[in-house]
């Protein structure tokens, strides 16, 4: 089956392949040569593949397999993290998902190291975890605003690599997606939220203030890609001015990650023929 991609998403969107973030164009659809309608059609098809793979993972988890998948979502405000959860997460059985969002740390969370709340939110065996923001917040706004001294945040890249290596060793497939919108597109999306009373709840005045730190954020993202994009826990950069493309890309990356697990239906842990007889004889 043609997947509509001239180059696999996992290759063309890999952080190491896209060049410097400062010259990245979020309007493009790298590796994919269809339009919005083609993208939506393909998403519906590929969504079924994704759902089937998710059920395999879940079934194996129930049968004692300890593996799981963790999708980390980062990105500028309005880049569409929530939309990915809704429209890509929504392609799957919610029972097999474990979705966690990370806002400003609570008082309790601040009394622990920055990975404490992350550990507690990891997906159980057989689940696909989706993090809407993550431990990378601790080297993004925290770095841009020096919420902790540089001597503290600059050590976090190594700590993150070490933490993710442990996760992977424990059977979690980690993939990280950074959704990128252009500064103009963000302005448009913020303005739309101010036009519609049903979108006010998504608007945060602080988002406008953050725009004045745009370049510092790009620098912080570049540092993340340079220091924490590894084959065992790769970063993908998702151009997100076109929402349909971002959804299609993340769906494809999840399919790729799940396919790599080479899952099969777990064998029966009972005698199938004996059970058939026992059931037939039952009342």
> By the criterion CB under 8 A, which residues form the site for its own copies?
59-60, 62-63, 82, 85-86, 89-90, 92-95, 97, 99, 101, 132, 183, 187, 190-191, 194, 197-198, 200-201, 203, 205, 208, 211-212, 214, 265-268, 270, 272, 275-276, 278-280, 282-283
Q: Which is nearer to its own copies, 145 or 277 (CB)?
A: 277
Least distance between its own copies and beta carbon 254 (Å): 14
Q: Which is nearer to its own copies, 213 or 230 (CB)?
A: 213
Contacts of 98 (CB under 8 A, 6+ apart): 121, 123, 124, 127, 128, 129, 130
Q: From CA 130, how far away is CA 203, in angstroms rounded?
A: 23
Least distance between its own copies and beta carbon 119 (Å): 17
Least distance between its own copies and beta carbon 229 (Å): 26
Least distance between its own copies and beta carbon 99 (Å): 6
Least distance between its own copies and beta carbon 157 (Å): 29
Task: Say if CB 179 and CB 246 are below 8 A apart.
Answer: yes
Q: Which is nearer to its own copies, 127 or 176 (CB)?
A: 127
Q: From CA 249, how far away is CA 257, in angstroms rounded?
A: 12
Q: Which is nearer to its own copies, 262 or 270 (CB)?
A: 270
What 211-219 contacts at long range (C-beta under 8 Å, 24+ apart), as own/partner pairs, is 211/183, 211/186, 211/187, 213/144, 213/145, 214/183, 215/22, 216/144, 217/76, 217/140, 217/144, 218/21, 218/22
Q: Which is nearer to its own copies, 4 or 126 (CB)?
A: 126
């Amino acid at each position: 089956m043609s997947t509509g991609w001239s180059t696999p998403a996992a290759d063309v969107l890999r952080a190491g392949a896209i060049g410097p973030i400062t010259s990245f164009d979020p309007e493009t659809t790298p590796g994919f040569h269809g339009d919005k309608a083609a993208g939506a059609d393909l998403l519906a098809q590929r969504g079924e593949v994704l759902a089937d793979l998710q059920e395999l993972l879940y079934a194996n988890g129930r049968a004692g397999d300890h593996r799981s998948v963790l999708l980390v979502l980062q990105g500028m405000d309005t880049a569409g993290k929530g939309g990915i959860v809704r429209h890509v997460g929504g392609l799957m059985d919610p029972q097999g998902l474990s979705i966690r969002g990370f806002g400003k740390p609570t008082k309790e969370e601040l009394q622990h190291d920055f990975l404490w709340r992350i550990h507690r939110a990891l997906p159980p065996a057989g689940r696909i975890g989706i993090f809407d923001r993550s431990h990378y917040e601790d080297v993004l706004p925290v770095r841009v605003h020096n919420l902790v001294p540089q001597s503290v945040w600059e050590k976090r890249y190594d700590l993150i690599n070490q933490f993710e290596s442990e996760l992977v060793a424990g059977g979690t497939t980690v993939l990280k997606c950074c959704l990128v919108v252009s500064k103009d597109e963000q302005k448009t999306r913020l303005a739309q939220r101010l036009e519609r009373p049903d979108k006010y709840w998504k608007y945060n005045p602080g988002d406008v203030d953050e725009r004045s730190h745009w370049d510092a954020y790009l620098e912080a993202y570049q540092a993340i890609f340079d220091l924490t994009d590894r084959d065992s826990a790769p970063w993908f950069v998702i151009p997100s001015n076109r929402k349909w493309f971002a959804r299609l890309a993340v769906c494809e990356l999840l399919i790729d990650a799940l396919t790599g697990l080479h899952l099969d239906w777990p064998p029966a842990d009972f005698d199938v023929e004996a059970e058939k007889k026992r059931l037939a004889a039952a009342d």
